[in-house]
Every structure is written in structure tokens, then in C-alpha cells.
Amino acid sequence: MFKGPKSHPHASTGRGASSAHGDYNDDDWEWRSQRLSRAELGNRLAPIVRQLTLYDDARIRLETRGGNSALLSRIMELLQGELVIPGRREDFTVSLTDQAGMRRLFQYEFYPHEIRLEVRRRPTGMPVYYLARVHLDYRSEYSLVIEDLFRSPDYPVTDERFVKLMRGGHEVYFLRLSKFRAALLAGRDPEEGAEEAVDDTLLKVGRHVFQACWHEDQLVGMAAAGQFGLEHFRRAVELLYLGLTAELCELRSAVSEDMLRFFKDVYVQPAILAFLEKLAHLDGKALAGVPQAALKLYPQLSRAFGRFLATELPWGRQQAPVPLSKLLFANFSRLEAVREALAGKEELAQAVERLETQSAAVIDALLANSGELAEEIDPGRKHLRVAKG
């Protein structure tokens, strides 16, 4: 149960308008104008993070080593125990099992920060948690996770680029840019607004680049790229999506030294880096030609990936030939085991080399603003030749 202080404005049903977020009075506007710093946010969330850490330690001990009634009692105590959270006016009392109270606390007490606490159930029946700071982007397809405040070690995330969070009563994908935060903070002076500067960088690359080049329909391709070392393929997919769906004029005006450094040093993506550097030198006609070139190249890369998935590989006790696509889809939750079982297979090595060669050629073609690829492979460069003209 949510136990806000009696004098808290959101516990009142007195004067003032009612909204979808609850009842509040006229003083709320002044109250919400008080912006909480990142340091203050961390201090106020510390009791929750500490409780989640203690709970996870106990849960993992129970799941991996077993336990007794005392350990079970300790876990229930951590889940149901009351937490005192400092508020703007008075303290709040919540618990990990009080999800409604947690949501209301995050909604009213941490402005301007948007906080989400997600809970998933393990196969053992035990809950695991993900506490994140997010940016709600109403102009784009995806909102952004800009900081992981806490994540259970085995919280389920199928694709590290995405995480599902609740928004508007529905579970939707957010782009998970929080994994870049530590690298961006490295070497920065915290006293000089490092957290805010990192937020700005993540919002910029998220809105102008990752919104375009990451999409949930890439799940299978990116999973395969991660397991089989398809680096050129991953880069080609991201570059094609960027060329096809980004607002290129807006992107060109947003390119900065910080953005270029990000794709050079933090998220190393030479194809996107070269594309962003080239944008500044394209005239209007050349800029308009980028989506057309990407549209021609996309089916070529798609067919190349289809041929890769059709590769037949020996599998099982009988070592019978099975298409790679069946192995991936049938074992999607355990792809590492598939990779280990196929390690050293010559058929796979050849298929990887072919797809990587074709992917590199697609990158070259789009950077050359051409939608045409030559059919033959140049064995010397191991590269598809880009058609000229």
C-alpha cells in the first residue's frame, strides 16, 4: 500500500484540478518546478537499490545452493519490508511488493527524471528487477533508456539493444542506450556536469541515429551477427536502416564532434562514422539519392542473409544436414550452445566469409551513393566490386 504523508499534495483530494495522474492542488505546479539533480536522485533511490541488491543476493543463493526456512523468511522480509524514501516535503514508505506505490512515487517525487521499475518472474517463480532512468520521446518510435540504476544479473533481455518497459499501460520496446554510459563518463570530471553532458550525448545519438538504425525486426539478424562474428553484416544493416529511415537533413545539422567521437570510440561503427562525415559534403541531389540507393541495396543484403540461413550444416548424432535457419529458430534462447556445436565447421566458415564479403560491398556501395553491385567477386580484394556510374 502507498503510504504517502498526509500533508503530501498528492494525498489530498481538496482544491485543485483532477488529472489522469491523480488529484493535485494549485501548489503542485511550484512543487514540480523543483528540478532534482542526478546526485540527489541517486541519494533518494539508494534505499531501493540497496534492498534490491540484498534481495538478489539472497535469491541467487537460494536458487543455486538451496536454503532453509530462515533464508526463505529473509527473502520475504526483503520483499515486503518497508523502505523510507526521502521526499521533497516528507518521507515516503513503500516496499518492493508495492508496485502501485512505487509507480506513484516515481511519478511524483523525482521530477524531471523518469524512473521505471520493471519486474519479471524467473522459471523458479522468483521475481527479478530492472530499475532504469528513461527519456520519453514522443516524436519517435522508441523512447530511450539512458541509465541502468539496477538490474538483476539474470533479468531477461533477449537483445541488449532493447528492453521492454511499461508505457501508457502497455509493454513496449525502449532503446537501451544505458550500456554506453560508463564509457562516456570515463575521464570526465563529475563536478563539471558530466552526468548532464552524457545525457545530452545519448539523447542526441538516440534521436538522430539509433532511432533509425536499430529496429526490433532485426532481432534474428543481429543475434546471428553476435554469435558468428558477422561484423560487416551488422554494420551494413545499421547503415542501410540509417540511410532508409533517418531524417537526413535533420541528421546532417545534428552531426557534431561529440557524435563523431561516439561512433569512433564508444560504439565503434566505421560505416556510420564515414556516413556522418560524408553527410556534410553532400548537395541536395546527392542527399536525396541516399534513400534510393539504400532501397536498392537492402534486398541484395536480405537475399545474401537468406542464403546464409539456408546453409546446411551437419547436426546431431547422425550429423544429418540441417539448414542453419532451423537451428537458429529452434534454439533461439540458447544460441551460444549452437555456436559452440558448430565451431570449426568448414561449411559455416565459408558461409560467414561469403556474407561478410557481400556486406562489406553493400557498405561501400551506399557510401559511394550507388545502389548497384557487380555480380562477380574479386578474389584479390575478397570484395564485391561496386558498379561505377
At 79-133, the pLDDT tens digits run 999 999 988 778 889 999 998 889 889 988 898 999 999 999 999 999 999 999 9
pLDDT in tens, 291-325: 999 999 999 999 999 999 999 999 988 899 999 99
pLDDT higher for 31 or 76? Answer: 76
**Same domain flag for 237 and 149:** no
Would 9 be classed as within a structural domain? yes
Compute the average pLDDT of residues 3-17. Answer: 37
The CB density around residue 35, as the number of other CB atoms within 10 Å, is 9
Would 205 be classed as within a structural domain? no
Would 82 be classed as within a structural domain? yes
pLDDT confidence of 27, banded at 50, 70, 90?
low
Residue with cell 539448414: 323
**Is the pLDDT assigned to residue 387 strictly greater than 70?**
no
Residue 199 half-sphere exposure toward CB, CA atoms < 13 A: 15
**Same domain flag for 91 and 117:** no
Would 320 be classed as within a structural domain? yes
The pLDDT assigned to 130 comes to 97
Query: Could you list the residue range(s) of the whole structural domain that residue 250 is in?
Result: 214-386
- Boundary (domain end) residue, out of 71, 104, 137: 104
**Same domain flag for 89 and 156:** no
The pLDDT assigned to 33 comes to 55
- Distance, CA of 255 to CA of 189 (rounded, Å): 24
pLDDT confidence of 199, banded at 50, 70, 90?
very high
The pLDDT assigned to 20 comes to 38
Q: Are 356 and 232 in contact (CB under 8 A)?
A: yes
| Number of residues written out for the chain | 389
pLDDT in tens, 259-270: 999 999 999 999
Instruction: Report the percentage of the chain scoring pLDDT > 70.
Output: 86
Would 248 be classed as within a structural domain? yes
Smallest Cα–Cα separation from 261: which of 247, 275, 273, 253?
273
- Distance, CA of 65 to CA of 154 (rounded, Å): 16
pLDDT in tens, 164-189: 998 888 899 999 999 999 999 998 88
pLDDT higher for 1 or 167? Answer: 167
**Same domain flag for 253 and 381:** yes
The pLDDT assigned to 30 comes to 53
**Same domain flag for 87 and 151:** no
**Same domain flag for 90 and 222:** no
Compute the average pLDDT of residues 142-160. Answer: 95
Q: Are 225 and 160 in contact (CB under 8 A)?
A: no
The pLDDT assigned to 92 comes to 87
The total domain count for the chain is: 3
**Is the pLDDT assigned to residue 16 strictly greater than 70?**
no
**Is the pLDDT assigned to residue 142 strictly greater than 60?**
yes
Name 264's Cβ contacts closer than 8 Å, sequence gap at least 6: 273
The pLDDT assigned to 35 comes to 81
- Distance, CA of 11 to CA of 4 (rounded, Å): 7
Q: Which of 1-5, 48-52, 123-127, 274-278 has the lowest mean pLDDT?
A: 1-5
pLDDT confidence of 377, banded at 50, 70, 90?
very low
For the chain, what is the mean pLDDT? 87
The pLDDT assigned to 223 comes to 94
